[in-house]
Chains A and B, each alone.
Chain A
Amino acid sequence: MVNRKAKEANVAEALEKLRGEIMQLRSKLEEIIEMDRSILRSLRGQKEARIEEALDLGALDVMTLLALPDHLRKTAMVICRRKAATASEVAGETRRARAVESNYLNQLVNLGHIKKKRDGRKVYFYIEREESEG
């Protein structure tokens, strides 16, 4: 009888110890989850900042032109030289197919470097200016 009581006491003690350890684990897990969340928040913040920076990088200055892949640089240079141009006009200068230039011009639009506007049946690509021509 005494032996059985002692065994029960041991089990209860072991269970209590286990409960304590589980509680500790749970609190550690909560800490880790919170840490993960804060890392994720910080990463998201950095990504958003990078996107904002990228959007701000729309200007087609000479360093940006240099950073563009060769095929896009050639197209972008034509737009830099002219006030506005259609895909056919660009193709006339680069001696590449109109459809190819249309694709490249739209890539430059998507990258935020140039804009496009429709005038009747023609689509013009141009660089948005902050001021009027001096």
Chain B
Amino acid sequence: MGKVISVHSSRGGTGKSLIAVNLAAIYASEGKTVALLDMDFRAPSLSTVFKMGDYRLIEYWVNDFVNGRYSIDKIMIDLTEKYDIKGKLMVGLANPSIDAIREIMAKDRTREMEALRRLLALKSTLLKDMKVDYAIYDTSPGIQYSALNAVVSSDVAVVVTTLDMVDMEGTQYMIQELYEPFEKRAVILVNKVPAEFISSEKGEEKLVSQIKATFTQPPVQMIPCYCDVLRSSRISIFALEKPEHPFTRVLCEVAEKLERL
């Protein structure tokens, strides 16, 4: 049986979507069947990342599944051939139109309860019926309904943080006040680490012990800040474009560690 991984963070701009997309691409290029779902309904990104063209021509969205209009098989788009991948990569897009975002914002608590129940049932549909090895949910940052629903219905949450104090404190708060009450397994992924912080073994050890003291667990990985990644401007899927780049290699290690959890 596969795994549902949610990628979450306390604030925006930590690299959540970039990591979700590239993790999905890595698993799929290793031959796995992957379903990547955009659950950041207020700031969708995957239709742009995967160059899906004019959003008005796309018929089905993850929004439609969450709102109970369509089943998930109608929503997932198979991009395996587009990227010439060994495994299978399916994506579910979030609708970027203002109308769709307004609909999400206007949902009352009963609708949110229905959304949670659909997402809890989605795991079995994806992993059992659709034979997915890894389902990856790219969530919205912070504590809001869509993010919490996605985190609660996943097996493991990858919490992406930078070394910024506000990010770190927010992450610590979420671990204590959110993941622990729901008994949710959460791993810390530190992104955009300045290279000089981890250039020596001693420096890296010091940083790991600092992070361990803050979160009561070591980080699953520390990803150095690569200008190449920033330079790529997400024109392509980085891990597929540059499989030998250190960013891809370090993310492959994250993929392996998540597999072993």
B243 contacts partner chain A, Cβ-Cβ < 8 Å? no
Q: Main secondary structure on chain B at its contact with chain A?
A: helix
B120 touches A127 (CB 8 A): no
Smallest beta-carbon distance B6→chain A, Å = 13
Q: Which residue of B lies closest to A129 (CB)?
A: B114
A81 contacts partner chain B, Cβ-Cβ < 8 Å? yes
B135 contacts partner chain A, Cβ-Cβ < 8 Å? no
B120 touches A62 (CB 8 A): no
Known: A134-B69, A134-B71. A64 touches B109 (CB 8 A): yes
Q: Which residue of A lies closest to B149 (CB)?
A: A62
A-B Cβ contacts below 8 A, count:
54
Instruction: Give the contacting residue for A63; candidates B109, B120, B121; CB below 8 A.
Output: B109
B116 touches A62 (CB 8 A): yes
Give residues 46-63 of A contacting B (CB, 8 Å): 57, 59-63
Interface bracket on A: 20 to 34
B12 contacts partner chain A, Cβ-Cβ < 8 Å? no
B68 touches A62 (CB 8 A): no
A70 contacts partner chain B, Cβ-Cβ < 8 Å? yes
23 A-B pairs (CB sep. < 8 Å): A59-B110, A59-B112, A60-B113, A61-B109, A61-B112, A61-B113, A62-B116, A62-B148, A62-B149, A63-B145, A64-B109, A65-B152, A65-B182, A70-B181, A73-B182, A74-B183, A80-B117, A81-B120, A81-B121, A127-B113, A130-B114, A131-B114, A134-B71
